[in-house]
Amino acid sequence: MTFIRALAGACLASLCGFVAPAKAQTYPTRSITMIVPFAAGGPTDVISRIVTSHMAQTLGQSIIIENVVGAGGTTATTRAARATNDGYTLITGHMGTHAASVPLYPKLAYHPEKDFEPVALLAGTPILILARKDFPPKDLKEFVTYVKANSEKVNAAHAGIGSVSHVSCELLHSILDIKPVGVPFNGTGPAMNALVAGQVDYICDQIVNAVPQINAGTIKAYAIATPERNPSLPNVPTTAEAGLPGFQAQAWNAMFAPKGTSPAIIASLNAAAIKALDDETVKKRLLELGSVIPVPKDRTPEALAALVKSEIAKWTPVLKPAS
């Protein structure tokens, strides 16, 4: 009896000895840094904050947003690519940092596919053509006529070469066959402030930080570049309705970890991201800001890997290297 008890005790001890270190290593044991490659208040920042605040509850650790700006988001993305692949440094990238930057930066210090583990797609973000409140054209047809006639004088704000706002307006400008001056900012948060203040003429940006401004009447929205209107902006016509069907643009934001981050960590981050996207409050907030919530089949790391691949293939022939 005593022997059996002793044996059971020994077994328990060895079991505890086995369990304890494994438990001690359970990810995450400390706070996680989420690099946002643009300034606070822009779409990438806002989407990251909404989703990670819920993920932090699931993971039981805080997620600290670090805004690292510059070079259309490629400065931050380089830093994330070089970070230790232990799950404690992540990045919220987008169509620019993880696709359009490839053809635009011949010396890009990272490759979106080779240097990152995809975690999860967070949001689709339709593009809008937006202008300062007192920009003369009153609708998209007038805008087209006006910018063509004044292409030497007008300017378009963007978040740096290769950013979504830059690439989207490049697409618009190529359709209109104009080359207006671009005004770079560290993100479209500050670019939006400049638009509201009337310091720049127009921008092609992701819907997220535009919705509150459009609804408050501080800026003008000419059109949304998607096939359907967005429920958050029912009065904004599509580019097709407004007379420019050729301009179609939708971006996306997604979470990535440095290459070599363990599959178990990627799985727990992906699960936490999916849980956040299914949370009613998170969903409501993202939808109010016009984002498109990824459907379940698009939420896996594999689906994000496929998206990055297809987006690089899509943008590479369209964008010429920046000189």
Contacts with ligand ASP, residue ranges (CB under 6 A): 38, 42-44, 96, 159, 163-165, 187-189, 205-206
Closest CA relative to residue 252, chosen from 28, 70, 68, 93:
93
CA 61, CA 269: separation in Å to the nearest integer? 12
Q: Which is nearer to ligand ASP, 87 or 190 (CB)?
A: 190
3-state secondary structure of 67: strand
Q: Is the dihedral of CA 185, 123, 320, 238 positive or negative?
A: negative
Q: Which is nearer to ligand ASP, 49 or 259 (CB)?
A: 49
Q: Which helix H or strand E contains 23, and what residues bound it?
A: helix 2-24
- The two three-digit tokens of residue 160, written as one number: 């740096």
CB of 173 to ligand ASP, least distance (A): 15
Place of tokens 């001890």: 13
CB of 97 to ligand ASP, least distance (A): 8
Q: How distant is the alpha carbon of residue 102 from its chain centre?
A: 16
CA 323, CA 311: separation in Å to the nearest integer? 22
C-alpha distances in angstroms, 17 versus 7, 13, 133?
A: 15, 6, 67
Strands 202-206 and 116-132: antiparallel
Q: Which is nearer to ligand ASP, 77 or 261 (CB)?
A: 77
CB of 209 to ligand ASP, least distance (A): 8
CB of 42 to ligand ASP, least distance (A): 2
Q: Which is nearer to ligand ASP, 59 or 69 (CB)?
A: 69
Q: Which is nearer to ligand ASP, 165 or 261 (CB)?
A: 165
CB of 241 to ligand ASP, least distance (A): 24
Point out which residues pair with 256 in neighbouring strands. 91, 118
CB of 39 to ligand ASP, least distance (A): 6
Q: Which is nearer to ligand ASP, 165 or 250 (CB)?
A: 165
CB of 46 to ligand ASP, least distance (A): 8
Q: Which is nearer to ligand ASP, 47 or 56 (CB)?
A: 47
3-state secondary structure of 24: helix
Position 155, amino acid = N
CB 216 within 8 A of CB 227: no
Whether omega for the bond prior to residue 184 falls within 30 degrees of 0, making it cis, is no
- The two three-digit tokens of residue 129, written as one number: 């053509």
CB of 194 to ligand ASP, least distance (A): 13
Residue nearest to ligand ASP (CB): 42
Q: Which is nearer to ligand ASP, 108 or 164 (CB)?
A: 164
